[in-house]
Amino acid sequence: MRNVKTVIIGVGNIGNLHASNLLSEEIKGIELVGFCDTNPLKLEAAKKKYGADYHFYTQAEDVFADERVDAVIIATPHYDHPVLAIAALKAGKHALVEKPAGVYTKKVREMIEEAKRHPNLTLSLMYNQRMNPTYQKAKELVETGKIGELRRTNWIITNWYRSQSYYNSGGWRATWAGEGGGVLLNQDPHQLDLWQWICGMPERIYSFAYYGKRRNVEVETEVTAYAEYPNGATGVFVTTTTETPGTNRFEIVGSQGKIVIEEDQLKFWRTVMDETEWNDTYQGGFGEPEVWEIKIPVVFDGQTGHKKVTQNFVNHILYGEALISPAEDGIYGLSISNAIHLSSWTESWVTLPIDEDKFLEELTKRVEGSKEKTVEEQVLDTDGTY
């Protein structure tokens, strides 16, 4: 079967990363045939960097109308992700969509429904951290009951340091109209996806988000969110782009075990007896169950996920391989993100699934008050940032 002829839509930071991955020849069954961007300067830069033997498009509609193109990789600003994916599907193209799936769940739901109408086409999301063996192992330990009943989840993810110059590198960045959010929409979609992928969806959320804190931006730069699960378990998610040195520590605690992922390592402790049973039977006053630290044979891999997701996307098209990150999963992490925003805006608990119309109403208020930024667009070095 011939290679999947693919165009990258959006030739900014992440679009160039995708181009480098495709040209590495490590991903089999795919051929980069073109670039699309509404900014002619970015197209010209791509032509100089990659050569003039590709197709260059100034409008996505031209890509979708080109019968030589089988698939697209969508690497544009966030609002366009579901819009372009829907258009691609309607045009008969496969689509790999960068994170996040979109800005608000109502539009992402439209994308998912459109995908259902095209079962012959592939729609996948770039949740590349799902390919990390460490997170896969954590998911396995939770789902197979190795930690017992879920009790608590904590994720402190503050190693997303971003300077003002980063925010000034694009007119769409860190604005409600251009980006639709800040650290939750740009940096944290992977963690919010993994949080629910491993631990399940919370039942309700209360959050504190701080907008423009320590940076001259409209959107949130710091968040603390509290979550409650259907079984009574609780969770806390803490994130910011203004802290250095940052921390990335994910704790999952159950009635019979504890997982900690930090500094590229997974640690696992397991009690000999489930805490519930111990508590019901122990009569000694002070004391606690015997705990074993168990060595898990897994190696952290935070570097190759992009290529692995792209290969999985291609393999699904060519051979029907099961998708690791199917489009319908995009609604979950985004639902948490939307709930955190809505809770901070309304200063109240938000129950999941969220009220999508209420969220869009509140977001629209902020979009209408968004101020246009006049900056010189820059393509930054993304090495080590994804």
Kindly list the domain boundaries of the chain, sorted by start residue.
4-128+304-327, 130-301+333-368
pLDDT digits (tens, 9 = 90+) for 233-255: 999 999 999 999 999 999 999 99
Q: Which range among 114-123, 317-326, 346-355, 371-380 shows the weakest confidence by mean pLDDT?
A: 371-380
65 class by beta-carbon count within 10 Å (0-12 exposed, 13-18 middle, 19+ buried)? exposed
Res 166 pLDDT > 60: yes
Q: Residue 79 and residue 14: Cα distance in Å, rounded?
A: 15
For residues 299-318, b (16+ Cβ closer than 10 Å) or e, as one string?
eebeeebbbbbbbbbbbbbb
Q: Which residues are paired to 205 by β-bridges?
A: 227, 350
Annotation: CATH topology of 4-128+304-327:
Rossmann fold (3.40.50)
pLDDT value of position 385:
54
Give the Cβ contact number of residue 151 at 10 Å: 20
Domains 4-128+304-327 and 130-301+333-368 share a fold: no
Specify the pLDDT at position 328: 95
What residues does 260 pair with on adjacent strands?
251, 267
C-alpha 44/C-alpha 105 separation (Å) is 35
- pLDDT above 70: percentage of residues in the chain: 97
Is pLDDT at 384 greater than 80 in this prediction? no
Average pLDDT of the chain is 96
What is the per-residue pLDDT across 193-235, written as a single tens digit (0 to 9) for each? Answer: 999 999 999 999 999 999 999 999 999 999 999 999 999 999 9
> pTM to 2 decimals?
0.95
Topology adopted by domain 130-301+333-368:
Dihydrodipicolinate Reductase; domain 2 (3.30.360)
Question: Are the CB atoms for 127 and 101 separated by under 8 Å?
Answer: no
What percent of the chain lies above the pLDDT cut of 90?
94
pLDDT at 207: 98
